[in-house]
Chains A and B, each alone.
Chain A
Amino acid sequence: MSIKLTPRTAAPPHNGVDRVTGPSMAGPAGTEPAVHVQPTGEVGPSAETLLPEADVVFELQELSCYYGSFRAVRDINLLIERNRITAIIGPSGCGKSTLLRSFNRMNDLVPSARVDGKILYHGVDLYAEGVDPVEVRRRIGMVFQKPNPFPKSIYDNVAFGPRVAGRRGNLDDLVEESLRRAALWDEVKDKLKSPGTSLSGGQQQRLCIARAIAVEPDVILMDEPCSALDPIATLKIEELMRELREKYTIVIVTHNMQQAARASDTTVFLTMGDDRAGYLVEVAPRSSCSPSRQTS
C-alpha cells in the first residue's frame, strides 16, 4: 500500500519513548507513569531490541486530547505494532474512546476537540498541516460501539466505502469477499438486498466490520465493539478479530478485562488522574494480565 501523506523528515524512530520491558507494574498512581513497551516473545529475546520501523504502525508522542479546555487524555507515549491486536483498557471516562478516535481523526467531527503532541502513522504525523482526514480514514477504518449499519441494503452498506473511494463497476466480488472475511457471508448471501438494519445485533456489528474492511484499510479501530452484544456474538467477533489480525492491525477499546485477555496481543492500561485526564499506566503483553494465557 502506498502512503500518500506528507513524508517525514528523518526523525529518529521512537523518539521520546522509554523502552522498558518486563511485566513489572507501573509506579503508584499519580506519579508520572513509566511507559513499558513490551516487545513480545516473537519479536526478539533482547530487551533492548528496537522494533523494526516497518512494524510500527502508530507512534504516539506526548499525545494529549482536549475538548475545549478540558484535557481528556494526557501525555501518552505509545507504540502500536503491525498485525497485532492492541487492546486499550481502563475505567469509564478515562479517555479510551477519545484516544482511539484521535487515531483516525474522528474527533475532528467534534467542534471543540483538538490534540497536542504527535500521532505518527508509519512515521507521518496525522495532525500535520495538509493531511486530509478523509484519506486518513480510508486507511484507518473504524467499528463503533453500537452497531450502526446504514439504513440501506446489506450490499450497499458494504459497497458504500469502495464507491466513495472511486471504485466503479461491479462490486459483487468485493462485497462477497468483505462479507466472507467478516464471517457473515453464509448468513446473508441470500438476502443482500434486505436492509442492514434487519439483522441481529451481532450480525449488524459483523456487517459494520465488513463495511470497514471493504475499503482495504491498513488499520481497524474498534470502539467497544461488543458492548452491545450477547456473549455468543461477542465470542464470534473476538474470533473474527484473530483472523483479521493476519491482514490488519487492530486497536480495540474495551472495558472488559477478560476480553482484553482473550483477544489481544498487547494490552494498554489507562487510568484517570485527579484532573480527570486519562493517562497511560502500563503496556503489557497478554500473558501478564491473564493468569491462563490461551494460545490462539
Chain B
Amino acid sequence: MTAQTAANRPSAARSAVEAGLHSGRRDWTGMAAALVLLLTLIASLAILFVLLADVFSRALPVFTSRGLDFLGAPSSLNPEIAGVGQAIVGSIVLTIFVIVIALPIGITAAVYLEEYAGDSRFARFVNTNIRNLAGVPAIVYGLLGLAVFVTTLGAGRSLIAGGMTLAILVLPIVVITTAEALRAVPLTIREAAYGVGATRSEVVTGHVLPYAMPGILTGVVLTLARAFGETAPLIMVGAITGVFRSDPQASIADRLQGPFTALPTMVFSWAKQPQEEFRALTAAAIVVLLVVILAVNAGAILLRNRYDRRW
C-alpha cells in the first residue's frame, strides 16, 4: 500500500473535521470586556492629556514672552517680573540634602538589614516599622520637621530644616527600594562567592552590592523625584509662600539658614494669588516642575534598561 497523503483521505471525514473546527461561535462577553477595558484606559489617559494640554497652553505665553528670564527671575508680587529662579535653586539644594543625608544612611541601613541582621526578631521588627513609616502621610513628616528641626534644634524656617525634613521623609523609601534590590540578587550567586572562600564582606562588596546597584540607582532616582515634588512638609516647616529677597552677597552658610522656597511651594503660593496674570505663571511653574520630574523618571528608566540583568 502506498503512503496516503492528507489530500487523498476520504473527503467525508475531512469535512466533518472541518465543520468541527469552524464552530461559528463568537465570544461576545470577551469582546465586551475588552471594549470596556479599552474605554477605561482611554478615559484615564484622556483626563491626563486634557490636564496637561490645559497647563501647557496656559503656560505657553509666559515662555514665549519671557523665555529664560522666567527661569532665572526671583519671586515678586509683580507678575510681569516674577520668576522661579529662587524656587529652582531651593529645590536643587533640597535635593542635595536628600542625596547627602538620606541615601548613605538608607543604603547602609538596607545592607545591614538584608545582609547582616539575618532573620532576627529585631530585624523583623525594624522591617515592619520601616514599611509603616513609608506609608505615613507627608504632612506628618512636616509636623515632625517643624517640631524637631525648626523648633527643638533651632534650625528655624530654613533650607536646612526643609532639607532634613525631606531626607527623613524619603529615608524609609530608600531603605525599602534598596533592600528589594539586594534581595533580587539570587542566593546562588552568594553561594558561589561563599563557595570559593569569600568572607561575608567580600560577598557583599564584591558581588551583592555591585549586582544590586542598577536596582538601587533606579529606586534612588525615583525617590529623588518624589522629594522634588513634595509640597506639604515644606510648607509645614516654613517654605516661603510669598515674596522674599535673596541677598546675592550672603555666604552659603547664611543662605542655608535663610528663608527658602521650592518649585512645588511656589506653584502653591502663585495659585493663591488673586491676579489673573498669576494663572499663567502658575501653569508655567507647573510645566517646569513636570519637566524636571519627567526627566528624572526617564533617567531612571534608562538606567534600569541599560543595566537590566538576567540571572
B303 CB → nearest A CB, Å:
16
Chain A contacts with B in 63-121, Cβ cutoff 8 A? 104, 106, 109, 111
Chain A contacts with B in 136-172, Cβ cutoff 8 A? 137-138, 141-142, 144, 146, 148-151, 160-161, 164-165
Chain-A contact segment, one of B3-11, B65-73, B199-207, B238-246: B199-207
Which of chain B's residues has its CB closest to A162's CB? Answer: B196
Chain B residue numbers with a CB within 8 Å of A142 are: 191, 195
A104 to B207, CA, bound (A): 21
Contact A164 B119 (CB under 8 A): no
Chain A contacts with B in 203-221, Cβ cutoff 8 A? 208, 211-212, 214-215
A135 to B199, CA, bound (A): 9
Q: Is B188 an interface residue (CB 8 A)?
A: yes
Contact B197 A165 (CB under 8 A): yes
Chain A residue numbers with a CB within 8 Å of B195 are: 104, 106, 137, 141-142, 144, 212
Contact B196 A161 (CB under 8 A): yes
Which of chain A's residues has its CB closest to B197's CB? Answer: A138
Q: Is B211 an interface residue (CB 8 A)?
A: yes
Chain A residue numbers with a CB within 8 Å of B197 are: 134-135, 137-138, 161, 164-165, 215
Count of chain A residues with Cβ under 8 Å from any Cβ of B? 26
Chain B residue numbers with a CB within 8 Å of A104 are: 195
Chain B contacts with A in 118-142, Cβ cutoff 8 A? 118-119
Known: A146-B188, A197-B310. A106 touches B194 (CB 8 A): yes
A135 CB → nearest B CB, Å:
7
- CB within 8 A of B198: which of A144, A160, A214? A160
A215 to B197, CA, bound (A): 8
A160 to B311, CA, bound (A): 19
Chain B residue numbers with a CB within 8 Å of A148 are: 186, 188-189, 191-192
Chain B residue numbers with a CB within 8 Å of A160 are: 193, 196, 198, 206
Contact A137 B191 (CB under 8 A): no
Q: Is B190 an interface residue (CB 8 A)?
A: yes
A164 to B188, CA, bound (A): 18
Chain B contacts with A in 292-311, Cβ cutoff 8 A? 309-311
A197 to B195, CA, bound (A): 18
Which of chain A's residues has its CB closest to B199's CB? Answer: A134
Chain B contacts with A in 274-301, Cβ cutoff 8 A? none
Contact B196 A211 (CB under 8 A): yes
Contact A144 B194 (CB under 8 A): no
A205 CB → nearest B CB, Å:
12
Chain A residue numbers with a CB within 8 Å of B190 are: 109
> Top 9 closest A-B pairs, CB basis?
A138-B197, A161-B196, A148-B188, A142-B195, A148-B192, A137-B197, A164-B198, A164-B202, A111-B119
Instruction: Jot down 12 A-B pairs with beta carbons below 8 A, ordered by A.
Output: A104-B195, A138-B196, A141-B195, A141-B196, A146-B188, A148-B189, A148-B191, A150-B192, A160-B206, A164-B198, A164-B199, A165-B197
- Which residues of B are at the interface with A, using a C-beta cutoff of 8 A? 118-119, 186-199, 202, 206-207, 211, 309-311
Having A164-B198, A211-B192, one finds 20 other A-B pairs with CB under 8 Å, namely A106-B191, A106-B194, A109-B187, A109-B191, A109-B194, A111-B118, A111-B119, A134-B194, A134-B199, A135-B197, A137-B194, A138-B197, A144-B188, A150-B192, A150-B207, A151-B211, A197-B310, A197-B311, A212-B196, A215-B196
